[in-house]
């Protein structure tokens, strides 16, 4: 297989991170890969908030866990971002045509780019309840045109999970 396909097949969610901060060049490269994702009508409806403060990440973790508990959703992890040194909030433009699809495409590009740089990542949905139960734009310096959506935890992997989820079979067919 070629290198790109290898990167896609090798990427796995990281759930234990080293505390080491990522370099600005690496983060720029990851975000740049994100903004080269396809988007409906080329609207590029995404917006990124890169959090590099452990204090702010911990606070978002606590608030997210509180919001989940208030909605009776259980979250067994002590830290929804697994103590990653960097969290990126991906926000979408409120008036975009297919903002969820645009943001999912940008996130996947970033996860693969991170892996290609030797950086672990995990797509995190655990903050959505906190984001949707109040206006969080000011807290995260997000433009009023956008709404926070998913988050990505990034950092150097501290532990490789041997339990790498297998893929289901029978999910595709050819029509000739």
Ligand X SMILES: Cc1cc2nc3c(=O)[nH]c(=O)nc-3n(C[C@H](O)[C@H](O)[C@H](O)COP(=O)(O)O)c2cc1C
CA separation for the pair 158, 90 (Å, rounded): 24
CA separation for the pair 59, 62 (Å, rounded): 5
Residue 165 as a binder of ligand X (CB under 6 A): the answer is yes
Task: Select 162 or 175, whichever has its Cβ closest to ligand X.
Answer: 162
Task: Select 13 or 54, whichever has its Cβ closest to ligand X.
Answer: 13
Q: Which of 22, 124, 142, 152 binds ligand X (CB under 6 A)?
A: 124
Residue 76 as a binder of ligand X (CB under 6 A): the answer is no
From 10-18, 22-30, 44-52, 129-137, span contacting ligand X (CB under 6 A): 10-18
Nearest to 131 by CA among 53, 67, 55: 67
Strands 146-155 and 46-51: what pairing?
Answer: unpaired
Task: Select 79 or 146, whichever has its Cβ closest to ligand X.
Answer: 79
C-alpha separations of 136 from 60, 89, 128, 139, 140 in Å:
11, 11, 11, 5, 7
Residue 12 as a binder of ligand X (CB under 6 A): the answer is yes
- 88 beta partners: 50, 152
Q: Which of 34, 85, 120, 126 binds ligand X (CB under 6 A)?
A: 126
Convert residues 94-123 into a mask of x (bound to ligand X by CB under 6 A) and - (unbound).
----------------------------xx
Q: What is the enclosing helix (H) or strand (E) of 3?
A: helix 3-10
Point out which residues bind ligand X (CB under 6 A): 12-13, 15, 122-126, 164-165
């Amino acid at each position: 297989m070629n290198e790109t396909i290898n990167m896609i097949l090798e990427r796995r969610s990281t759930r234990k991170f080293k505390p080491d901060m990522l370099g600005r060049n690496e983060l720029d490269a990851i975000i740049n890969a994100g903004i080269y994702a396809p988007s409906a009508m080329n609207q590029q409806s995404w917006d990124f908030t890169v959090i590099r403060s452990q204090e702010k990440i911990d606070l978002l973790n606590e608030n997210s866990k509180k919001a989940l508990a208030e909605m009776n959703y259980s979250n067994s992890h002590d830290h929804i971002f697994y103590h990653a040194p960097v969290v990126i909030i991906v926000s979408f433009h409120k008036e975009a045509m297919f903002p969820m699809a645009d943001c999912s495409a940008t996130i996947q590009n970033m996860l693969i780019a991170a892996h290609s740089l030797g950086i672990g990542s995990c797509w995190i949905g655990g903050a959505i309840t906190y984001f949707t139960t109040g206006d969080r734009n000011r807290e995260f310096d997000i433009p009023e045109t956008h709404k926070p959506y998913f988050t990505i935890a990034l950092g150097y992997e501290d532990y490789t999970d041997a339990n790498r989820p297998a893929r289901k079979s029978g999910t595709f067919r050819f029509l000739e």
